[in-house]
Amino acid sequence: MRSYLFLLFLSSTILANSQVTSIPFEKRGLVYIPVQVPGKDTALTFVFDTGASTAVMDKAVATRLGIKADTKQYATGASGSQEYEIAINRTLTIADVDFNRLNLVLVDLQELSNRSGMQIDGIIGYDVINEFVTQFDFAEKQIHLYKNAKDIKDTTGYTAHSIKMDSSIPRVTLDCTFKDGSTVSGNFLFDSGANLGILFNTPFAKKHQLEEKLDKKITISSRGLTATSTSIVGLTKQVSLLGNTFSDVPISLSQSTQGVSSQKGFAGILGADIINRFDMILDYNKKKLYLKPNGYYKDAFDVPLVGFTIKKSGDYIVIGDVIQDTEAAQKGIQSKDQILAINGTSHTDLKSYRELLKKEGQTIRIRLKKASGKEEEIELKLERLL
């Protein structure tokens, strides 16, 4: 998501109820929570994002709910600066808590929804975490909110770490060791809304010649809040984060020349592929982060096995980006080809197709409808691209 909206006047003061509450969530790569607008019956789905410095709402959703922009403001996102429409002094209800005096940045989130396979009506993070001590429990799929960390009865297994804040986003230090034996260290934004493991900012990657340390690599496109950016993806031998070690972690090297990912002030972004392997407690007032490995901790990291991405397009599922010099590209698979079936089975949700594309070593049959209307069936072997 990488919704880094450093809006100078948008540091909302939230008047929330003092009671403790719990928020159910769904994990589909990112964490999704139910949100409501007072006086409206519509149930909304927001990404809960530690990298969201201000709340975001999809423009179409805002229009449907009668929420209009009050002002406009230029702000810096992951891939550059642009003007955003902002609805000031709004209220959102999460569980039984009203979050008042919120500033909602109104953005078209349809492409993010298409790529995620989930309807994303908005994004929220700092506005909640700054008001409450926030505990994520991935076994229960609940976010628990407390007024004070001492109110949490059971902290068995958690380790406490001091954090620094970059405006409204935590920073953590990690070490990344490559297959040539070299190690780089740096400060990374703690961004659970970034659907990746680690992203290195362009200046840091160039300074340390990280591309040369990758024995295999591919170039991919990814979607931020409002723009598409390019990065080089490879595998690192080992990542060490606050006393925890992970092997064979996919990393991305930003190619951006504008926006947050082009900045020199920090090494990059730590994303959801690593963050969500921990139950965690965030206490921004005391600048503390508590981590406890959860059931996802030892899962192998997903490595791309096909040379394309898939996404929703209306009622259909289509090819997203095609990676150059892969078997998929060589056999003529193109962006916007409609997927009719994989291995003779048709699905209407991304999750089912993505599971079929994770079976390493298997050969799949993918039936496509081309832009011309012609149908083709192509065989591909699922092999690691990294």
pLDDT, tens digit, 9 for 90 and up, residues 169-180 = 999 999 999 999
* 3-state secondary structure (DSSP) of residue 320: strand
C-alpha distance from residue 286 to each of 13, 15, 131, 148 (Å): 18, 20, 12, 10
32-36, 114-118, 164-168, 297-301, range with the lowest pLDDT? 164-168
Return the beta strands (E) in 25-168 as ranges.
26-28, 30-36, 43-48, 56-58, 71-77, 80-94, 97-107, 122-124, 133-137, 142-146, 159-162, 164-166
Mean pLDDT of 13-20: 42
Name the helix (H) or strand (E) containing 318.
strand 316-322
What token pair was written down for 369? 């409808």
Closest by CA to 178, choosing from 207, 220, 216, is 216
Q: pTM of this prediction? A: 0.91
Torsion angles phi and psi, residue 192, rounded to 5: -75, -5
Residue found by looking up tokens 């929804």 in the block: 113
Output the average pLDDT for the chain.
92
81-90, 230-239, 276-285, range with the lowest pLDDT? 81-90
Amino acid at 14: I
Angstrom distance (rounded) from CA 225 to CA 35? 19
Angstrom distance (rounded) from CA 384 to CA 303? 7
- 266 close to 253: Cβ distance less than 8 angstroms: no
What is the maximal distance between C-alpha atoms in the chain?
63
Amino acid at 317: I
Mean pLDDT of 359-368: 97
List beta partners, residue 56: 105, 123
Torsion angles phi and psi, residue 89, rounded to 5: 60, 55
- 189 close to 269: Cβ distance less than 8 angstroms: yes
Give the pLDDT band (50/70/90) at residue 224.
low
2-16, 225-239, 323-337, range with the lowest pLDDT? 2-16
Torsion angles phi and psi, residue 215, rounded to 5: -80, -30
- 127 close to 2: Cβ distance less than 8 angstroms: no
Angstrom distance (rounded) from CA 134 to CA 152? 10
In this prediction, residue 144 carries a pLDDT of: 97
- 318 close to 366: Cβ distance less than 8 angstroms: no
Angstrom distance (rounded) from CA 34 to CA 36? 7
Q: Of all residues in the chain, what percent carry a pLDDT higher than 90?
A: 85
Mean pLDDT of 280-288: 97
Q: Which residue segments constitute the domains of the chain, with CATH numbers given?
A: 21-151 (2.40.70.10), 159-293 (2.40.70.10), 308-381 (2.30.42.10)
Mean pLDDT of 236-265: 94
DSSP symbol at 337: P
- 219 close to 324: Cβ distance less than 8 angstroms: yes
Q: Of all residues in the chain, what percent carry a pLDDT higher than 70?
A: 92
Q: What is the pLDDT of residues 92-109, one digit of tens each?
A: 999 999 999 999 999 999
DSSP symbol at 177: E
Cα dihedral 277, 279, 285, 286 sign: negative
Angstrom distance (rounded) from CA 52 to CA 169? 8
- 169 close to 53: Cβ distance less than 8 angstroms: yes
Angstrom distance (rounded) from CA 110 to CA 375? 27
In this prediction, residue 384 carries a pLDDT of: 96
Q: Is the pLDDT of residue 11 over 60?
A: no
Mean pLDDT of 71-95: 85
Mean pLDDT of 2-9: 39
Q: Is the pLDDT of residue 8 over 60?
A: no
Q: What is the pLDDT of residues 309-341, one digit of tens each?
A: 999 999 999 999 999 999 999 999 999 999 999
